[in-house]
Protein backbone atom coordinates (compact mmCIF):
# COMPACT_ATOMS: atom_id res chain seq x y z
CA UNK A 1 0.00 0.00 0.00
CA UNK A 2 1.30 3.44 -0.94
CA UNK A 3 1.68 5.86 1.91
CA UNK A 4 0.39 9.33 1.18
CA UNK A 5 -2.70 11.37 0.47
CA UNK A 6 -5.97 9.70 -0.56
CA UNK A 7 -9.35 11.08 -1.57
CA UNK A 8 -12.45 9.37 -0.19
CA UNK A 9 -15.24 8.86 -2.70
CA UNK A 10 -17.36 11.38 -0.72
CA UNK A 11 -14.70 14.06 -1.36
CA UNK A 12 -12.64 14.45 1.83
CA UNK A 13 -8.89 13.84 2.05
CA UNK A 14 -6.91 11.51 4.31
CA UNK A 15 -3.23 10.68 4.89
CA UNK A 16 -2.34 6.99 5.03
CA UNK A 17 0.43 6.64 7.59
CA UNK A 18 0.84 2.87 7.65
CA UNK A 19 -0.57 -0.63 7.64
CA UNK A 20 -0.90 -2.44 10.98
CA UNK A 21 -1.92 -5.94 12.00
CA UNK A 22 -5.04 -6.56 14.07
CA UNK A 23 -3.78 -8.08 17.34
CA UNK A 24 -6.31 -10.94 17.40
CA UNK A 25 -7.00 -11.78 13.75
CA UNK A 26 -3.72 -10.58 12.17
CA UNK A 27 -5.84 -8.87 9.52
CA UNK A 28 -4.08 -5.96 7.77
CA UNK A 29 -5.59 -2.63 8.79
CA UNK A 30 -4.87 0.78 7.28
CA UNK A 31 -3.99 3.56 9.72
CA UNK A 32 -4.97 6.94 8.35
CA UNK A 33 -5.36 10.54 9.46
CA UNK A 34 -8.10 13.05 8.63
CA UNK A 35 -6.85 16.05 6.70
CA UNK A 36 -9.97 17.95 7.73
CA UNK A 37 -11.48 18.85 11.07
CA UNK A 38 -13.34 15.84 12.47
CA UNK A 39 -14.54 16.22 16.08
CA UNK A 40 -14.77 12.43 16.57
CA UNK A 41 -11.10 11.59 15.95
CA UNK A 42 -8.02 12.48 13.94
CA UNK A 43 -6.69 8.92 13.53
CA UNK A 44 -8.72 6.08 12.05
CA UNK A 45 -8.22 2.43 11.12
CA UNK A 46 -10.06 0.35 8.56
CA UNK A 47 -9.49 -3.18 7.27
CA UNK A 48 -7.16 -2.96 4.25
CA UNK A 49 -9.57 -5.04 2.18
CA UNK A 50 -12.35 -2.51 2.84
CA UNK A 51 -10.05 0.49 2.29
CA UNK A 52 -9.13 -0.80 -1.17
CA UNK A 53 -12.58 -1.96 -2.27
CA UNK A 54 -14.80 -0.50 -4.94
CA UNK A 55 -18.13 1.07 -3.95
CA UNK A 56 -21.16 1.89 -6.05
CA UNK A 57 -22.04 5.57 -6.47
CA UNK A 58 -24.89 6.56 -8.77
CA UNK A 59 -24.71 3.15 -10.46
CA UNK A 60 -20.96 3.41 -11.12
CA UNK A 61 -18.14 1.49 -9.39
CA UNK A 62 -15.48 3.78 -7.91
CA UNK A 63 -12.64 3.20 -5.41
CA UNK A 64 -13.57 3.92 -1.80
CA UNK A 65 -10.22 5.73 -1.48
CA UNK A 66 -8.17 6.95 -4.43
CA UNK A 67 -4.43 7.67 -4.16
CA UNK A 68 -3.66 11.34 -4.88
CA UNK A 69 0.02 11.88 -3.99
- Side by side, the strands of the sheet bearing 43-47 are 43-47, 28-34, 13-21, 4-8, 65-67
Structural domain tally of the chain?
1
This prediction's pTM: 0.91
CATH code for the domain in which residue 36 is found: 2.30.30.320
What is the per-residue pLDDT for 5? 98
Q: What is the mean pLDDT of residues 42-62?
A: 97
Other C-beta atoms lying within 10 Å of the C-beta of residue 65: 21
Q: What is the mean pLDDT of residues 12-27?
A: 98
What is the per-residue pLDDT for 56? 97
Q: What is the mean pLDDT of residues 30-35?
A: 98
Which residues span the domain enclosing 51?
4-67
Q: What is the mean pLDDT of residues 47-58?
A: 97
Using the CB atoms, write b or e for 28-60: b if 16+ within 10 Å.
ebbebebeeeeeeeeeeeeeeeebeeeeeeeee
Q: Please, which pLDDT band fits residue 57 given cuts at 50, 70 and 90?
A: very high
Amino acid sequence: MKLGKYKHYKGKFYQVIGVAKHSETLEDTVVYKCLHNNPLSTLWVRPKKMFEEMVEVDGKKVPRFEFVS
